[in-house]
Structures are given as C-alpha cells and as structure tokens.
C-alpha cells in the first residue's frame, strides 16, 4: 500500500499510513523506511534517527534513501557523511548518483565533476545528471559533450538536453535536437512535448507552431493538461488568440494557475485589456505572476494609472508580496505618468519591504526619475549602482536629451566607452537628440560621423539638429542623401524646423509628404496651419482647416496634469470641471493682469493653432497647461517646484506666459510636453525658445 501511494506521489498519504501502522502496533521493517523517507520531505530527518535506533542504518536501500534525502534537501554535507561511511565494496551506483545530483543541486560543480570521474561504474542516470547539471550552470557546450558521449540515452536524457537549450533561450538548437531525436526513433514523452512547444512559443513563429501541431495529430499523442497548457501558450505567443482560448475553454477543470496566467498575458499582449481583466477577476488562486502580467499589461498598453491602481490593490490585500518584476512595471508606470510623488512612494515601498533590485530595476528607476523631471535623482541612482549595463547608460543619456543637457549626454557616452561598454543604436539616438535639444551643431556632426552605419533614426536626429539651428538647406540635403526612404520622423523634424524658422515652402514640402504617410495625424495639419498663420496667409489656414474636415482628421485633445495629494489633476482647454475651478480662474485673471503690466501681449497666432474649436482669444488664456499651473500655484507650498505633464507640444503663447509666471511668482516650473522638458526659471526656459 505504501509503495502504491508513493508511486502516485501522494506523500501525505504515505506518512498518514505509517502513523496508522504505528497505531496498530505494527513494527515497520527496513522495506518501509526508504519509501517513508522519500515521502516525508524534511520530516525524513526524524526517520533517519528512527532508522539508526532500529539498526536499519546499514541496509543498502535505507542508506540510499537517506543520502538522497540530504542531497535533495540539504545539508549536502550530511549526505556526504553517510556516503563516506559506506565501505567501498558496498557502495552502489545509486549512491554515487544521489551524490552527483546533490552536488549539482547545491552548485558544487567541481565536486560533482570529481565524483563522476572517480566513480567505478556509471549508468544512464549518472550521465543525464551531468547533462542537467551543466545545462543548469548555462555551460551548454559541456552539457552537449556529455550528451554526445553517453553510451546509451533514455528519453529523460534527451529531455535534459532539450530543456537545457530551451531554458537558455536557444530555441533553434532545441528544435534541431528534437528533429534528431525523432529521426533516431525515440518516442517523445509529455515532458519532451512541453519543452519543444515552449521552445517554439519563444520563437513566436506561427508556421512552426502549425507544423508541430500536425506532428502531434499524426502521432495521435494523448495530450495531458501540461502539454495543452504549453500549446495554449504557444498559440498565444504566435498571435492565435482564438485557438488559445479554445484550449483554455476545453481544459475546464484541468486548468491550473499556469493555464490562467498564459491566457491572461495572451489577452494583454494583443491589447485586449477587458478580456484579460474578466479572466483576472474570476481566476481562483491568483499568484504573483498573475498580478505581474496584469500590472505589466496595463503599463505596456498605455494605462499607467490603472497599473498603479492594481498595484495598490495588490498590496492592500496583503496576501502576496510584490517581486522585482512587479516593481519594474510600477516604477516605469510612474515614469510614464511623470508622477514624482507616486514614484517616491514606490521607492519608499521598496526599502520598507526590502525588495532588492537588479540592474533592470535600477534602470527603471533612472527612467522614472528622468521622466518625472528630476535628473538629480536619476543621476544619483545611476551613480549608486554597483554595475551598469548599456541600458543604464542609454536611459540616463535619453534623460539628458529630453532635458536638453547636451554636454552631459556627450560626456556620459565617453565615460561609457572608457568603461568598456560600446554605444549602440539607442545611445547614438540619445546623444544626437541631446545635441539637437541643446543646439550643439558641431558636436552633433562629430557624433553622427562616428556612427559606422547610420540607421534611419540617426538621420532623423541629424535632420532635426540641422533644422533646429537654422541650417535648413543642409537639413534638406542630408535628407536627400539618405540611402533609405525617409520616414515620417524625418519629415516631421523638417516640418517643425520650418515652423521655428518660418520657412513656408519647406514646410509645405514636408507637410505634404506627411499627409501621405500619416493621414490621421492632426499634429501635422496644425503645424502647417501655424506656419501659414505666422506668415499671415489666412486663406491657406482656412484651406487646411477644410482639408482636415474633409479627411475626417480628428484633433487630438490637449490635456495637462499636475500631481497633488496622491492624485493626478487633469485639465483640458477651458476646463471648468475641477472642484477648485472658481479659484483657478480667479487666479488666472489676476495673473493676466500682472503679466500685462509686465508687458505681456497674447500671441494671436496661437489662436489659430487650434483650428477647430477654439477661436476666441480668451481661449488661448485657458490652455490646459495654464489651468494646471494655476491649480498648482493654489495648492502647493510657496517656492515648491511645479511639475506639469502635457500630451502635446506647448504653444508659443503658453510658453511666453509660463516664462513670465515663473518670474512673477518666483517658481521653478517644469513642463514635460510630448517632445521634451521645459524648465522655466526666473523668466527663462531651458529650451532657449527652440522646441
């Protein structure tokens, strides 16, 4: 009976039966103990004592069970002691095998290797343990060497090598080995299928998936729930969400948490947040992985606020502790929102709960602080890191770029090279953008020329830089010399440069290209109409407005938000929905009076920026960023930095007004628009009026 339950892996039952046996006064013999010890987990240590007392200590099977228990559960030294006490001639290959696996488990590669070398005889289990061991330490060449040398191989040996490849991201190798296996006439078992299907999922190749499914059908394989879950995951990753859902529904009561999680992340991957949420709400036994895929899913689908809400729910429930994966999503979400208070709260949560971050966690923090407009904190996190990778450098460089800190970006790239890390495509984009935002033409040129094989985005940055400093002819020539077809980003740079330098013809050229490439992007229409307006060509302004109407181009609603009291306060143009609206508008009127006294004149061309809805002059005065700033002035402490996030480019009038407000009110005002950061201080902006 004991052996029967042990075969079923029903360990609790084995231990229970043993207790019943004792209750009946039956003395267990040496046959019982190996089974018991195998089943009892750490409780086996107690049985070890029994065995010694009863004099079964020198029974070969009992001894092997004891070695195996200590080898699996530790301390490995205890296993070695029992092993060493066995006389040489009595030591069985199973004892050696238990020790070899044990040393691999406890990461003593040298000991495992040594035992393997001195063993008097080896069997297929020994060899397989070596393959598994080397795969575990990611030395796949060594693993393959042992695999190739094996005198005979079981399906378990093949599986060991397969999962070695699969788990180390070598999907190609795994699939090739699987072919070899089939050709060698080895019948794959369920573990093989799960491994191969997962390897196929990571490739995300629908054709490969289909051919694998055909093989499964041809061989009439009985699919257990593990294989079916692996299939579900494969369909999900290859984009066949319907097929994935069918398996999910068929599995019914056989679903486990892996099945649920695979389905939820499948929905998240295709951006079907509602279906993901529905499953999440009904899922029994949610674990950290479940929460992580929901939180990351919201964050990656632009729903940062939802991601943070869900994180708050998770920690309020107190059933599960967030791990690094959770925190990286949450930290990044704070960065996307530009919510510094929230970001600081999350960082405090990390310390309070002693959640350790790896490099990617720290990189997320650098990103968060940069996007929240606090480069000081971003730099501090960077400096405190023990080791940094290329992403750490790139993230900080992009931060410098967005803030227009050109020299710092260039210097950091040099430091990076000195530290032995080669700049990559992203590094160069960051540094060139930084040069552009800081107007550093010569430095930018040098960087551009140092790129071996410039990609399209590098050309876009260069065109942007030339355009911004007024070298429009050069910008156009650079574009014409590009070895590839320019994309919208390149023309976008040219269009914006034409706006800054009031170049109507060049603007028209760029805009007409953009209307073809991105017919739905209202921003291009508005930029061109601004160019016409500033040249006084009102008829053309009218024509653009008509074209937009005819093309059904919807203007993106502009909004701005500020953070206060743990909440984001969001405003749109002429917004009156906020509870402090009356006070906000009162302050706005007072400010306008003060500004006029200081010589401010509203810029009328900005009225025309918003061609569709806002034509009255007073509406310029109620652009969302102005409302957000007034609210911040009302609620924040005197002298505190004001941080605003805006989804569109700041208009001329707001830019001028904010400069004056910063001087009149004695405040630093940091505005993140969709292009860069503007740091307003004492009447000036860090962008030097080019953006």
Positions in the binding site for Zn ion (CB under 5 A): 623, 651, 654, 678, 685, 687
Is residue 624 within 8 A of residue 647, CB to CB? The reply is no
Cβ at position 587, least distance to Zn ion in Å = 17
Nearer to Zn ion, 287 or 675 (CB): 675
Kindly tell me the burial class for residue 537, based on how many C-beta atoms sit within 10 Å of its own C-beta (0-12, 13-18, 19 or more).
Answer: middle
Cβ at position 572, least distance to Zn ion in Å = 12
Nearer to Zn ion, 362 or 499 (CB): 499
Kindly tell me the burial class for residue 529, based on how many C-beta atoms sit within 10 Å of its own C-beta (0-12, 13-18, 19 or more).
Answer: buried
Is residue 123 within 8 A of residue 93, CB to CB? The reply is yes
Is residue 401 within 8 A of residue 468, CB to CB? The reply is no
Nearer to Zn ion, 371 or 623 (CB): 623
Nearer to Zn ion, 645 or 687 (CB): 687
Report residue 561: phi and psi, to 5°: -140, 155
Cβ at position 315, least distance to Zn ion in Å = 38
Cβ at position 641, least distance to Zn ion in Å = 16
Nearer to Zn ion, 186 or 587 (CB): 587
Other C-beta atoms lying within 10 Å of the C-beta of residue 425: 14
Cβ at position 449, least distance to Zn ion in Å = 29
C-alpha 324/C-alpha 195 separation (Å) is 26
Nearer to Zn ion, 179 or 689 (CB): 689
The continuous run of DSSP H or E covering 257 comes out as helix 257-269
DSSP state of 689: T
C-alpha 238/C-alpha 210 separation (Å) is 10
DSSP state of 672: E
List C-alpha distances in Å: 326 to 236, 381, 647: 22, 19, 26
Cβ at position 342, least distance to Zn ion in Å = 25
Nearest CA to 391 out of 415, 421, 370, 351 is that of 421
Cβ at position 511, least distance to Zn ion in Å = 21
C-alpha 194/C-alpha 178 separation (Å) is 12
Nearer to Zn ion, 296 or 650 (CB): 650
Q: In what order do the strands lie in the sheet with 559-564?
A: 567-572, 559-564, 642-646, 669-672, 677-681, 684-685
Cβ at position 567, least distance to Zn ion in Å = 24
Cβ at position 388, least distance to Zn ion in Å = 31
Cβ at position 336, least distance to Zn ion in Å = 21
- Grouping H, G, I as helix, E, B as strand and the rest as coil, residue 568 is strand
Nearer to Zn ion, 6 or 622 (CB): 622
Nearer to Zn ion, 94 or 654 (CB): 654
Report residue 559: phi and psi, to 5°: -145, 160
Cβ at position 105, least distance to Zn ion in Å = 59
Residue 519, C-beta contacts closer than 8 angstroms, at least 6 positions apart: 551, 553
Nearer to Zn ion, 289 or 671 (CB): 671
For 308, half-sphere exposure in the C-beta direction (CA atoms, 13 angstrom radius) is: 21
Tracing tokens 């490969």 back to the chain, one arrives at 208
Nearer to Zn ion, 301 or 681 (CB): 681
Nearest CA to 525 out of 554, 500, 482 is that of 554
């Amino acid at each position: 009976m004991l052996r029967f339950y042990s075969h079923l892996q029903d360990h609790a039952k084995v231990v229970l039966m043993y207790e019943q046996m004792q209750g009946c006064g039956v003395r267990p013999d040496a046959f019982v103990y190996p089974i018991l010890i195998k089943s009892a987990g750490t409780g086996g240590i107690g049985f070890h004592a029994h065995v010694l007392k009863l004099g079964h200590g020198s029974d070969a099977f009992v001894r092997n069970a004891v070695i195996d228990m200590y080898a699996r559960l530790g301390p490995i030294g205890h296993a070695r002691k029992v092993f060493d006490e066995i006389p040489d001639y009595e030591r069985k290959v199973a004892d050696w095998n238990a020790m070899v696996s044990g040393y691999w488990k406890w990461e003593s590669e040298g000991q495992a290797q040594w035992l393997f070398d001195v063993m008097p005889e080896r069997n297929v289990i020994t060899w397989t343990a070596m393959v598994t061991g080397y795969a575990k330490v990611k030395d796949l060449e060594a693993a393959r060497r042992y695999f190739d040398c094996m005198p005979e191989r079981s399906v378990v040996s093949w599986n060991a090598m397969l999962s070695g490849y699969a788990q180390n991201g070598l999907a190609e190798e795994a699939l090739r080995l699987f072919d070899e296996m089939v050709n060698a006439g080895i019948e794959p078992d369920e573990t093989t299928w799960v491994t191969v299907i997962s390897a196929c999922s990571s490739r995300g190749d629908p054709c490969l998936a289909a051919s694998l499914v055909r093989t499964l059908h041809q061989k009439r394989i009985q699919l257990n729930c593990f294989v079916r879950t692996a299939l579900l995951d494969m369909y999900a990753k290859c984009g066949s969400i319907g097929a994935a859902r069918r398996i999910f529904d068929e599995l019914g009561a056989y679903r486990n948490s892996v099945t649920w999680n695979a389905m939820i992340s499948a929905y998240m991957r295709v951006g079907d947040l509602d279906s993901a949420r529905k499953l999440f709400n009904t899922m029994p036994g949610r674990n950290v992985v479940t929460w992580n895929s929901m939180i990351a899913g919201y964050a990656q689908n632009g729903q940062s606020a939802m991601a943070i809400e869900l994180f708050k729910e998770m920690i309020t429930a107190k059933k599960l502790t967030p791990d690094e994966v959770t925190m990286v999503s949450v930290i990044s979400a704070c960065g996307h929102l530009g919510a510094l208070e929230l970001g600081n709260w999350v960082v405090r949560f990390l310390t309070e709960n002693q959640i350790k971050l790896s490099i990617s966690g720290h990189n997320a923090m650098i990103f968060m602080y940069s996007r929240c407009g606090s480069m000081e904190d971003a730099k501090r996190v960077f400096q405190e890191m023990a080791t940094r990778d290329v992403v750490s450098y790139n993230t900080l460089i992009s931060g410098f770029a967005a803030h227009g800190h050109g020299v710092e970006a260039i210097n950091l790239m040099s430091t990076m090279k000195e530290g032995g890390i080669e700049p990559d495509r992203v590094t160069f984009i960051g540094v060139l953008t930084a040069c552009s935002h800081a107007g550093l033409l010569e430095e930018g040129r040098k960087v551009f020329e140092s790129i071996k094989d410039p990609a399209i985005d590098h050309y876009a940055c260069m065109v942007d830089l030339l355009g911004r400093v007024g070298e429009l002819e050069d910008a156009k020539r650079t574009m014409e010399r590009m070895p590839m077809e320019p994309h919208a980003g390149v023309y976008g740079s040219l269009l914006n440069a034409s706006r800054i330098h009031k170049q109507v013809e060049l603007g028209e050229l760029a805009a007409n290209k953009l209307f073809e490439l991105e017919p739905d992007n209202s921003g291009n229409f508005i930029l061109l109409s601004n160019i016409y307006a500033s040249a006084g060509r009102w008829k053309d302004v009218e024509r653009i407005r008509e074209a937009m109407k005819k093309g059904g181009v919807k203007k993106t609603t502009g909004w701005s938000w500020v953070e206060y009291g743990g909440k984001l306060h969001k405003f749109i143009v002429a917004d009156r929905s906020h509870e402090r609206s009356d006070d906000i508008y009162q302050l706005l009127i007072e400010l306008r009076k003060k500004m006029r006294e200081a010589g401010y004149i509203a810029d009328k061309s900005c009225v025309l920026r918003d061609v569709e809805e806002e034509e009255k002059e007073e509406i310029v005065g109620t652009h969302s960023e102005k409302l957000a700033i007034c609210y911040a002035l009302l609620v924040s402490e005197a002298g505190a930095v004001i941080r605003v996030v805006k989804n569109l480019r700041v208009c001329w009038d707001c830019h001028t007004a904010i400069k004056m407000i910063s001087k009149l009110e004695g405040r630093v005002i940091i505005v993140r628009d969709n292009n860069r950061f503007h740091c307003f201080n004492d009447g000036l902006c860090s962008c030097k009026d080019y953006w």
